[in-house]
Amino acid sequence: MKKPTSLLEELADTALDIEAMLDDLLPPAGAAPRLMRAMRHAALGGGKRVRPHLLRMSARLLGGDDAAALRAGAALEMVHCYSLVHDDLPAMDDDAMRRGRPTCHVAFDEATAILAGDALLTHAFMVLADAATHPSAEVRAGLIHALAKAAGHHGMVAGQMLDIEAEQAASHDEMMVRAVQMLKTGALFRFAAEAGAILAGAAAEDRERLRVYAHNIGLAFQIADDILDATAAPEAVGKRTGKDATAGKATFIDLYGLDGARQRAAALVDDAVEALDPYGAAADPLRALARFIITRGK
Amino acid sequence: MKKPTSLLEELADTALDIEAMLDDLLPPAGAAPRLMRAMRHAALGGGKRVRPHLLRMSARLLGGDDAAALRAGAALEMVHCYSLVHDDLPAMDDDAMRRGRPTCHVAFDEATAILAGDALLTHAFMVLADAATHPSAEVRAGLIHALAKAAGHHGMVAGQMLDIEAEQAASHDEMMVRAVQMLKTGALFRFAAEAGAILAGAAAEDRERLRVYAHNIGLAFQIADDILDATAAPEAVGKRTGKDATAGKATFIDLYGLDGARQRAAALVDDAVEALDPYGAAADPLRALARFIITRGK
C-alpha cells in the first residue's frame, strides 16, 4: 500500500475507494432499473466524502480494520446522500442543482427521488448488517444502532425538522442555531468518529476524545458551509448559493457576522485538534482534516 | 396469560400490544416535537396490524420468544407505516385519507410527512439493533439484514417504483402485476414469517414452509385489497376507493375480473394452508389468519 503524503492525497484516495465501493454496492441491474439509476445518480460521482474519510481515519488511529471502515463509510455516505435527495425536494429546500449536476427529482421526478432516498437509507442498514462488513455481529449491531440514532429523530432528521421550523421564526438565537446544526450536520460527523471507535473496539476514553473532536469539527464544518453559502459563486460549490438568507434560515452568519463566524470556526478547530493531544503524531491525519474543513467547506 | 379463543380475538390482542409498544417506542417528547407528533400520527391509532400478527404467530409456531416477536413486529409496523406516509404524498398516490383520518401530509405538511416517514424507517432499525429486542447480536443483525432486503430496492421500494411505472403502461400482463405486488406487498409479508423463524432459530425446512405460506397469503392479501378498492365504499375501508382503475394501476381485477380474482385469492389461501400441514393443530392460528385475509382485506 502506498503511503499518501498529504491530507488532500489521502482524501482523494478515500473518495476513489468510496466511489468504487458504492459502485459495487449499487449495481445498475435490479428489480426496478429506474430506481437503481436514481440511487446511483444520488450516490455516485460527487462529493468529497469527508464523512467516510473521518470514519476511516478514526478507525486507523484506534486500530480498526481499513476494509471494514470503508464499508461502514459507504453506508454512512448512502445516508448522507439520501438526506440530500430528500432535502432538495420541492417540498423541502427546492434545489435544482447539487454537486454541479441536476438534483435527483430534476433528473428523474419527485416520486422517483422520494423512493431513491428511501432505498439508499434502507440499503445503508443492509450493508452494515452484512457479515462482510465485520465478522462480529456485536460490532455490526453496534454500528447500526449508532447510525440509526445519529440519522433519525434523535439526530439528523430532527435537525432537518428544526431547520424548517426555524425558517418561520421571527429571529434566531444562538441556542436555536446551534441546536439545529448539532443535529442536522453534527450527528453524522459524531457517528463517523464513533464508528471508527466501534470498529476498533476502542476504550471509553478514546471514544470520548473522538466524540469531542467530531462534535467540534461538525460545528466548524457547518459554519464554513454557511460562509460559503454567503460568499461563494454557485459554480465554485456546484449548487445554488445565497439561499439561506433568502429562505430566512438560521445560520451562524446571522449570529456572529462573517468575520465573527470565521473566528468561531477557527476556535472550534483548535478545540478539536486539542482533544487529540494524547495521540501525538498518529492523529496528524485527523488534525489535517479538521483544518481542511474550515478552508474548504463541504 | 389468557388464551384467546379465536383469530379475531388474537388479532385484537396483537393490535393492542403493538399499539402499546409503538406508543412506548415513540415518546411524544424529543428534540423535534412536531416531528414526533407526525411520527405518532402515522404509526399509532390504526391498522389491523396484520404483519406483526403474522410475525408473532410464526415465532409462536416455531418456538420464538413472544416479547422479542412483539418488538420485531413493532419495527416492521414502523416500516409499513412509513411506506404508507410516503405513498400518500402528492407526488406519489396523492391520498388525503388513510384509516379514516387525514394522511400525514394533510394533517401536517409535505416536508414534515417526508421527514416523519424517514424517521420511522430509521427508527425501525434502531429498535431491531437494540439488545432489548434479542440477547443475540447474530439474531438482531439477521433481522436487520432481512428487513432491509425486504423493504428496500430488492423488495418493497422496487415494487412502489414498478407500480408507478405501470400506471404509464398501455396494458398490464400477469407477469407485471404479479411482479409489482410480490415486491410491494409480498416482501414485508415474507419478512414477517421469516423474522418469526429467525427469532426461533428455526431449521431451513421450517423457514422454507413459512416462506411458501407467506408468499401465498401476500398475494392473496393484495388481491383482496384490489377487490376492496373496486367494490367497497370509502367509509368501509377508511380511505379513498375506486382509485386504482382511475389511476391506470396494474391490479388483479384487470387480469382476472372480479369473480376470477376471488377464486384466485381462495386458491392461494388453500396453497398457504397446505404448506402448514406438517405442523398439525399448532398452525391453526396461521391458517385462520390466511382465511381472514381474503374475507377482510387490509
Which one, of A157, A211, A149, A159, lies nearest residue A183 by Cα? A159
**If 0-12 CB within 10 Å is exposed, 13-18 middle and 19+ buried, where does residue B139 land?**
buried
The DSSP bridge partners found for residue B101 are B98
* Mean pLDDT taken over chain B: 92
For residue A297, name the pLDDT band (cuts at 50, 70, 90): very low
H helix runs in chain A, sequence order: 7-25, 33-43, 50-62, 66-87, 104-107, 110-129, 137-151, 156-167, 174-184, 186-200, 204-231, 234-237, 243-247, 252-274, 284-296
The answer to whether residues B250 and B169 touch, using CB atoms and an 8 Å cutoff, is yes
As beta bridge partners, residue A101 has A98
- Which residues 246-275 on chain B approach chain A with CB closer than 8 angstroms? none
The grid coordinates of residue B84 equal 404508507
Whole-number pLDDT of residue A166 = 85
Q: With beta carbons under 8 A apart, name residues in chain A contacting B43.
A: none
Which range among A241-250, A251-260, A276-285 has the greatest average pLDDT? Answer: A276-285
The arithmetic mean of pLDDT across residues B240-264, rounded, is: 82
Q: Which residue of A has its CA nearest to B165?
A: A34
Which has the closest alpha carbon to B197: B24, B72, B107?
B72
Average pLDDT over residues B70-86: 98
pLDDT value, residue B297: 44
| Residue B257, C-alpha cell as written in the block | 375480473
pLDDT at residue B222 greater than cutoff 60: yes
Residue A59 contacts B, CB cutoff 8 Å: no
Residues B22-46: what's their mean pLDDT? 95
Check whether domain B7-296 has CATH 1.10.600.10, yes or no: yes
Could A122 and B148 be called an inter-chain contact, meaning their C-beta atoms sit closer than 8 Å?
yes
Task: Quote the pLDDT of residue A3.
Answer: 56
Please name the residue of chain B whose CA is at the shortest distance from the CA of residue A146: B126
Range B103-114 average pLDDT: 98
Cβ pair B287, B5 in contact under 8 A: no
Between residues A182 and B33, which one has the greater pLDDT? B33
Q: Which residue, among A120, A92, A88, has the nearest Cα to A102 in the 3D structure?
A: A88
Q: So what's the pLDDT on residue A298?
A: 40
Which residues, including other chains, have CB under 8 Å from residue B269's CB and lie 6 or more apart? B216, B217, B220, B290, B291, B293, B294
Whether B117 and chain A come into contact, CB under 8 Å, resolves to yes
**Range scoring the smallest mean pLDDT among A4-8, A28-32, A190-194, B31-35:** A4-8
Does residue A162 sit at the B interface (CB-CB below 8 Å)? yes
Q: Assess B34–A contact: CB distance below 8 Å, yes or no.
A: yes
Grid coordinates standing for B143? 433481522
- Measured between beta carbons, which residues in chain A are less than 8 angstroms from residue B84? none
What is the ipTM score, two decimals?
Answer: 0.95
Per-residue pLDDT band for B179 (boundaries 50, 70, 90) equals confident
Answer for the pair B121, A118: CB distance below 8 angstroms, yes or no: yes
For the segment A244-255, the average pLDDT, to the nearest whole number, is 76
Q: Which residues contact B92 (CB under 8 A, 6 or more apart)?
A: A111, A114, B86, B160, B164
Q: Contact A32/B152, CB-based, under 8 Å?
A: no
Asked if A119's CB is within 8 angstroms of B153's CB, the reply is yes
Query: How far is residue A167's CA from residue A72's CA, in Å, rounded to a whole number?
Result: 34
For residue A131, which residues of chain B lie inside 8 Å, CB to CB? 141
Among partner residues B30, B148, B165, which is closest to A126 by beta-carbon distance?
B148
Model pTM score: 0.95
8 Å CB contact of A111 and B165: no
Whether residue A270 is predicted with pLDDT greater than 60 in this model: the reply is yes
CA distance B4 to A41: 51
